[in-house]
Amino acid sequence: MATRLNPYISFNGNAREALEFYKGIFGGTLALSTFGEFGNPGEGGDKIMHGMLETDQGYTLMGADTPPGMPYNPGDNITVSLSGDDGDVLRGYWEQLSGTGTVSVPLEKQMWGDEFGACTDKFGISWLVNIGAPQS
């Protein structure tokens, strides 16, 4: 995989239920990781930090629960995600999207091992960029 573009939806504590619902509709493979699995076992530790549904038709839908303490804003809860292992291409996209926008999470290595960043472009569109290790 080089890169992919897909929607990323934030939920208000019901990401597991929603992503399982979408799996029932679209089929495919659903992978879920909780906040607790990444070192936050306290309040919300059982909530979804990242979920990804990959369908047989080639659709990818990602989602997560809004972390405790962060605002949940219905209507503003869909972000565009760019991800893959082509770091040069993804870093180029990041520079262009964030260059005239607002960075909320700098593009840097995260606890799960990938480079990740979040920004809002000059048009008010929220973007996530995740660069994983090349698949062999």
List pLDDT tens digits, range 65-78: 998 788 898 878 89
- The yes-or-no verdict on residue 106 having pLDDT over 90 is yes
Outline where DSSP puts E strands in the chain: 3-11, 29-34, 48-54, 60-65, 78-84, 102-109, 115-120, 126-131
pLDDT at 1: 59
Residues listed for the chain: 136
pLDDT band of residue 123 (cuts 50, 70, 90) is confident
SS3 call for 47 = coil
The domain segmentation of the chain, as residue ranges, is 3-131
Please answer whether residues 23 and 30 qualify as being in contact, where contact means their C-beta atoms are separated by less than 8 angstroms: yes
- The yes-or-no verdict on residue 12 having pLDDT over 80 is yes
The domain defined by 3-131 carries CATH number 3.50.30.50? no
Pairing, β 78-84 against β 102-109: unpaired
Is residue 99 packed enough to be buried (19+ CB in 10 Å), middle (13-18) or exposed (0-12)?
Answer: exposed
